[in-house]
Structure 1
Amino acid sequence: MSDERVSAEHFRSARWFAANDLRGSGHRGRAGQMGYSPKEYRGKPVIGILNTWSDISPCHQHFKTRVDDVKRGVLQAGGFPIELPAISLSEPFQKPSTMMYRNLLALETEELLRSYPVDGVVLMGGCDKTVPALVMGAISMDLPTIFVCAGPMIRGHYRGKTMGSGSDSWKYWADRRAGLISEDEWETIQQSINRSPGTCMTMGTASTMSALTETLGLTLPGFSSVPAVDSQHIRLCSESGRTIVEATWLDRKPSKILSRESYLDAVTALMALGGSTNAVIHLIAMASRGGIDLSLDDFNDIAEKTPVIANIQPIGTYLMDDFYSSGGILAALNRISGMLHPDRPTINGKTLRENFAGADVFDNDVVKTLEDPVGDRGGLVVLRGNLAPEGAVIKPHAAEAHLREHVGPALVFDSYDEMNEAVNRDDLEVSPDTILVLRNVGPVGGPGMPEWGMLPVPKRLLAAGVRDMVRISDARMSGTSYGACVLHVSPESYVGGPLAIVQNGDRIKLSVASRELSLLVSDEEIAARRAKWTAPRPRFERGYGAIYSSQVTQAHQGCDFTFLERGPATPEPEIH
C-alpha cells in the first residue's frame, strides 16, 4: 500500500461540511446545535464508530463504556468520532436465529456508512454473526476499516472444575436429561459458566471469527485473543481509535488489504485453530463481497495439509484465557507461518509477518507444535455425495473416532419440535448406530439456518451411556458444540434438496476419509421420490422475513442476499 497521505478535500465528510452553500452551512449549523465547533471536524477525518452494544447483548455489555476509549483514541490522533448505534445480534436471545439477521446488520452497516459523513470506520463487535455482518457491510462500502473485538469472557468455575461456555453447557445438559444431576445443580452450573461480559471463552464462532478477522488484517495485532475484562482490551480500544485516523489519512481501505491470499490464510487459521463450522459460511460471504472467489474446495484443500494445533474447547482441553496467556493468535500464526502468505498488508501499515514476528508460544500443551498437533489434518471437512451435492460440513476431531466412518439407518424428523419430543420418549426405536436426520431447518426452511445441528442424543441412549452418534441436518451448530454432526447440507431440504426425500430406515454412509455423504438408495428410487415431492409454503408472507426468504443464497454460497453480493458500486448520495 502507498504511504501517500490524502488531502482533507479528499474526505467524504468535506462534501457535507466544507461546501460554501446553503446545505453546507446547514450541516455546520446542525453540528453546532450539538455543541460542535467547525474547528473540531473541518479538515479532519470523521470516524464512524459502529457500536453494537444493547441491553440484551451480554457479549457486548462492556461496549457501552469501551466506545469512550475508542473515541479517546480518535480524538488523540486528530480525528472526529461519531458513534453510530447498530442493531445487536444477541446470540442467546434473538429468534428464530441471528443468522437470519446477519444480512440485515450487513446492510445497515453499509448504508449507515454511505448515508452519513464518514471517512473511516471502527467496527465494534464480537458475538457470532456480528463479526461477519459488520465486516461484510464495511467491505461493500470500502472505507478504511478497523475491527474492535469484544473479547472472550473469563472462565467459568463449578465445584473446583473449570467450565467453558456452550461446550460444558451441552455436556451437563446431557447429564441433566440422563438424570445424573438435579435441576438445581443445572441452574447453578449455568450461573457458574457465565461470569463476565464478553463472548464464549471456547473456540466457538465468536472467538473463531475474531481470530480470522485479525488474520485477514483488519484488527490490531493480538486483539482477537484478549479477554473482554483485561485492561489490555481498554488500551487496544484507544489504540484502534488512533490507528484508524492514520489509516484514513493513508486511505487503507479493505480493497487494498483483502485479497484471495488473505482469505486462504484465514481458512488456514480456521483449520489450525479447530474453529467453528460457521466460519465456512461467513468467510465465503465476506470474500464474495469483495469480488473474491472462495469455495468449499478451498476449505478441503487447505484442511488436507493443515494440522490442528489449538488445544481449546470444544475439540480440546483449554479455554481462551489459556490461549491468550500462551501467546494467543500471534503465536499461533507464527507457528504456522510457513503455510501462510504473511507479507500481506494489514490495517496498521505493517505486514502480517511483521505483526506476529517474535511472538512465542509459552505453553506447548495449549498451542501444540506442528510435530505433535491435536489432530494431523482436517479441522473441518467438506463432504459430498448424492445426499449433499453442493456440500456438507463436519468437524471430525469433535466426533468420537469410530463414528467418522459409519453406515446406519436414518431416523428422520421434519421439524425441531417433532425431534425434541421424540428424543425424550422412552419407547423411541433407536440404537447407537441410528443416524438422526433433521430437515427443513436450512437458510429458508429454518428460517435462518438455526443452530440446531447438534441434535440431542435420545434419552434412552443417554441413560445407557451413549454420548455421541451421527446426526445430519441442513442447519448449523453452535461453534461451542461437538459431536458427529454433519451440517449445512446443501441444497437444503426446504427448497428440494436430497435431504427432503430421505425416509426412515434408509441406509446412509458417512466417510470422513473419502469425504462422502451418501444415501444408499437406488437412483431410480430417488427419482421416484423426487417426482412426488411438493414444495412447502413460504415461511413468511410479509416483512423482513419475506425479503430474507426470497433473496438468501444456499450454505455453500455464503447465505448472503443476492442483491448484496458483489456488483456495481452503489452511487454516493447527492448532498443537496
Structure 2
Amino acid sequence: MSVSGKPRKKSEELRSHRWFGVDDLRSFGHRSRAYQIGFGREDFAGKPVIGIINTWSDINPCHTHFRQRAEEVKRGIWQAGGFPLELPAISLSEPFQKPSTMLYRNLLAMETEEMLRSYPLDGAVLMGGCDKTTPALIMGATSMNIPSIFLPAGPMLRGHWRGQTLGSGSDAWKYWAEKRAGNIDDNDWREIEEGIARSPGHCMTMGTASTMGAIAEVLGLTLSGASSIPAPDSSHSRMATRTGRRIVEMVWDDLKPRDVLSAASFDNAVTLAMAVGGSTNCIIHLVAMAGRAGIDLPLSRFDMFSRKVPVIANLRPNGKFLMEDFYFAGGLRALLGELAPMLELGCATVSGKTLGEDIAGARNNEPDVIRPLDNPISGPGGLCVLFGNLAPNGAVMKPAAADPRLAKHTGPAVVFDDYNDMAARIDDPDLDVTADSVLVLRNSGPQGGPGMPEWGMLPVPKKLLAQGVRDMVRISDARMSGTSYGTCILHVSPESYVGGPLALVRSGDMIALDVAERRLDLLVSDAELAARRANWKAPPPRYERGYGVMFAQHITQAERGCDFDYLHAGPATPEPEIH
C-alpha cells in the first residue's frame, strides 16, 4: 500500500502504458518516434514518464537558471528509474509582459492542463516562480490531477547600492519617490538601477513571487524547505534533483494534487499569508487554486484569519530583511515551526509525510528575522478584506505596509478615469489634491485593464512629495505589486468597467476608510448614486478578436479568483482516445 492509501501501481497501470506499452500499430508509431529522438526502449519501457513543465525563456529574468535546473531535475528522474521529457510552456515574465501577466495566468493554466492531458505523462514537475507562474501551473495540474510536484525558482540575491541593501520592487518605489522629490539625481538612480537585481531568481522581498512560493510549500506541493532557497545557491540544484527523484515515487504511489489539497491545507495557506504579511495578490490566486480543487474559499475566510494571525516575518515591504536573510534564518520550515500552534499539521504533502512531520526539528536561527508568535513585528491584520457601498463584493489592502495614521480616514476623492489619465495629471501643479485627498483610479480591473494590471500603488503627486508626504489613501479596481507598500485599497469589486460603484465616484465626493471596522464607503446618498447609475454607459469591449475576446467573456471578478468561469470547477475532462 502506498502513502496515498492506494495500492502501489504496476508498470502496466501507468498512464503512459497506453502510448508505449500496447502491442498495436499506434504504439509502434509512438515507440518508433521515441527512437527517432534518440531514446531506446530501455529508456522508457515500463518506466514512469515525467513531464518537466519548464517556464524558462530569454525574457524571464526570474527563470534564467531554469535551463540548468531542468537538467538537474532530469538527473533525479533518471536516478529514480523514470523517463524525463521536458515540455516548454509560456513564460509569464512579470517585468516585461504587458498589460499584465494576470491577463495570461489562465492561459498558462490551460496550457499546463492540456499538455498534461494530451501527452503520455504519468507525472509532472512544475517549474515556476515568477508571480503568476506559480498559481497557473498549480491550477492546471490540479485540474488534470496526475501526480505533480512544484519546483520553486527561488529568490534572487540581495541588491546593493553605496553600502545599502536594496530589495527589488520595494526600493524601486522608494527611490523613485525620492527622485521625483529631487532628493537623488540621475546618476544615483542609474546606480540603483544597476545594483538592485544581481542574480537569477524572483524578487527577494516578500512580494507575490515569494508569497506564492511559500504558499505552494505550505499547501504541501513542494519538498519541505524548497521555496526559501536562493536561486543561485547550490542547495537549489540539489533540491531540483531531489524533486526529480521524488516525482517518480509519487507516480508509483499515485499521489495526486487533490490527495494533498484540502480545505485544511488552504486554511494553512491563508494563515501563512497573514503571518508573512504576504502579497495582496495571493488572495486572488488562492481563491482560484482552491476552486480548481473543488474547495470554496470566500473572502470572509481570509478576514477571519486576518483578525487572529500576527505578522511574524520581518521581511520587506512590511519589515526590514530580505529572502536571503530569511533562508539563513531557517527559511519557511522555521517560520512554520513558529506558526505551528495555528496550523493544521496533519495535512498531507508531496513528501508522503504530514506537514507536521515535514517541519519537525525546524530551527529558527534568527529570531529577529522570523519572530516568535509572542513577539510579532505587527499584530493581526497583515492583510484585510473591506466591504461597503464602494466595494459590495469586497476589496483588499495590506495594513502592515501602510501608514497607521491612515487606518481610519475620510477625505475627498480625486478621480482618474484610467491609467493614462492618471499619468497625465498626477504631477500637474494645478491638480486639486492635498495629503487628505483619496486618489481613485478606475477602469483597471479584470475587464477594464484589461487583465487587472498592477497599477494600484498610485504615485503620490509630486507637489505632495515635495511637502514630505509619502503615503495617502489610494483606491482602485487594479492590483498592486507584492513588493509595493502604502495605504492602497485594491481589487474593488465589482470593477468600474462593468458598472461597479467605483464607476460612479466623482472628484470631491467624500470617501471613508475604516480598517478596524473593515469598511470602505462612498458618502453619497443612495438617491444620488441611483441617478448617476441611470446615466452610466457601458464602455465598448477591450478586444474584438483572439484570446482577449475569450478572456472578456469568461473572466470572473476578483472575489472569485479571476479564473475563467468554465475552468473554476466542474467534472473532470475524459482521458484522450488513442487511435
Query: For the residues of structure 1 that align with 2:559 and 2:231, how far apart are their CA atoms?
Result: 32
Shift of 1:4: 3.1
Deviations 1:463-517 (A, max 9, x none): 1110000000000000000000000000100001000000000000000000000
Query: For the residues of structure 2 that align with 1:187 and 1:531, how far apart are their CA atoms?
Result: 50
SS across alignment from 2:492 = coil
Deviations 1:250-284 (A, max 9, x none): 00001111100010000000000110000000000
Aligned residues: 576
Shift of 1:564: 1.0
SS across alignment from 1:336 = helix
Name the counterpart of 1:539. 542
Structure 2 residue 12 is the aligned partner of structure 1 residue 19: no
Query: Structure 2 residue aligned with 1:471, among 448, 462, 474?
Result: 474
SS across alignment from 1:488 = strand
Give unmatched runs, 5+ long, in structure 2: none
Query: Structure 1 residue aligned with 2:177, among 171, 174, 177?
Result: 174
Aligned amino acid, residue 510 of structure 2: R
Query: For the residues of structure 2 that align with 1:334 and 1:382, how far apart are their CA atoms?
Result: 27
Give unmatched runs, 5+ long, in structure 1: none
Name the counterpart of 2:351. 348
Deviations 1:379-421 (A, max 9, x none): 1000000000000001001111100100000000001111012
SS across alignment from 1:48 = strand
Query: For the residues of structure 2 that align with 1:512 and 1:332, how far apart are their CA atoms?
Result: 27
SS across alignment from 2:27 = helix
Aligned amino acid, residue 337 of structure 1: A
Name the counterpart of 2:560. 557
Name the counterpart of 1:255. 258
Please give the residue correspondences for 1:94-113 in structure 2 after superposition, counting only pairs within 5 Å: 94-113=97-116
Name the counterpart of 1:40. 43
SS across alignment from 2:150 = strand
Query: For the residues of structure 2 that align with 1:3 and 1:349, how far apart are their CA atoms?
Result: 12
Query: For the residues of structure 2 that align with 1:423 and 1:439, how far apart are their CA atoms?
Result: 14
Query: For the residues of structure 2 that align with 1:499 and 1:441, how far apart are their CA atoms?
Result: 11
Shift of 1:344: 1.2
Query: For the residues of structure 2 that align with 1:285 and 1:569, how far apart are their CA atoms?
Result: 17
Query: Structure 1 residue aligned with 2:161, among 154, 158, 161?
Result: 158
Name the counterpart of 2:503. 500
Tell me the TM-score normalised to structure 1 length.
Answer: 0.99
SS across alignment from 1:97 = coil
SS across alignment from 1:81 = strand
SS across alignment from 2:174 = helix
Name the counterpart of 2:196. 193
Query: For the residues of structure 1 that align with 2:375 and 2:103, how far apart are their CA atoms?
Result: 40
Aligned amino acid, residue 313 of structure 2: A
Aligned amino acid, residue 100 of structure 1: L
- Aligned CA RMSD, in angstroms, stands at 0.7
Name the counterpart of 1:529. 532
Name the counterpart of 2:224. 221
Query: Structure 1 residue aligned with 2:87, among 73, 76, 84?
Result: 84
Shift of 1:244: 0.3
Name the counterpart of 1:140. 143
Deviations 1:35-83 (A, max 9, x none): 1111111111000000000000000000011100000000000000000
Shift of 1:375: 1.1
Name the counterpart of 1:422. 425
Deviations 1:114-148 (A, max 9, x none): 00000001000000000000000000000111010
Name the counterpart of 2:493. 490
Name the counterpart of 1:333. 336
SS across alignment from 1:489 = strand
Aligned amino acid, residue 427 of structure 1: D
Query: Structure 1 residue aligned with 2:440, among 437, 440, 443?
Result: 437
SS across alignment from 1:487 = strand
Query: Structure 1 residue aligned with 2:125, among 122, 125, 128?
Result: 122
Query: For the residues of structure 2 that align with 1:399 and 1:258, how far apart are their CA atoms?
Result: 33
Query: Structure 2 residue aligned with 1:312, among 297, 315, 318?
Result: 315
Structure 2 residue 467 is the aligned partner of structure 1 residue 450: no
Query: For the residues of structure 2 that align with 1:57 and 1:243, how far apart are their CA atoms?
Result: 27
Structure 2 residue 232 is the aligned partner of structure 1 residue 207: no
Name the counterpart of 2:578. 575
Query: For the residues of structure 1 that align with 2:308 and 2:221, how far apart are their CA atoms?
Result: 26
Query: For the residues of structure 2 that align with 1:119 and 1:308, how far apart are their CA atoms?
Result: 40
Query: For the residues of structure 2 that align with 1:185 and 1:551, how far apart are their CA atoms?
Result: 46
Tell me the TM-score normalised to structure 2 length.
Answer: 0.99
Query: For the residues of structure 2 that align with 1:413 and 1:365, how far apart are their CA atoms?
Result: 41
SS across alignment from 2:382 = coil
Deviations 1:197-231 (A, max 9, x none): 00000000000000000000000010100000011
Query: For the residues of structure 2 that align with 1:554 and 1:13, how far apart are their CA atoms?
Result: 38
Query: Structure 2 residue aligned with 1:303, among 294, 303, 306?
Result: 306
Query: Structure 2 residue aligned with 1:265, among 258, 264, 268?
Result: 268
Shift of 1:3: 6.1
Query: For the residues of structure 2 that align with 1:35 and 1:394, how far apart are their CA atoms?
Result: 54
Deviations 1:92-114 (A, max 9, x none): 00001000000000000000000
Shift of 1:184: 2.1
Aligned amino acid, residue 446 of structure 1: G
Query: Which one is further off, 2-11 or 123-132?
Result: 2-11
Query: For the residues of structure 2 that align with 1:465 and 1:439, how far apart are their CA atoms?
Result: 26
Structure 1 stretches of 4+ with a deviation exceeding 2 A read none
Deviations 1:11-48 (A, max 9, x none): 11101011111101110000000111111111110000
Structure 2 residue 33 is the aligned partner of structure 1 residue 30: yes
Query: For the residues of structure 2 that align with 1:379 and 1:400, how far apart are their CA atoms?
Result: 13
Query: For the residues of structure 2 that align with 1:122 and 1:430, how far apart are their CA atoms?
Result: 51
SS across alignment from 2:493 = coil
Aligned amino acid, residue 329 of structure 2: S
Query: Which one is further off, 144-153 or 421-430?
Result: 421-430
Query: For the residues of structure 1 that align with 2:332 and 2:427, how far apart are their CA atoms?
Result: 41
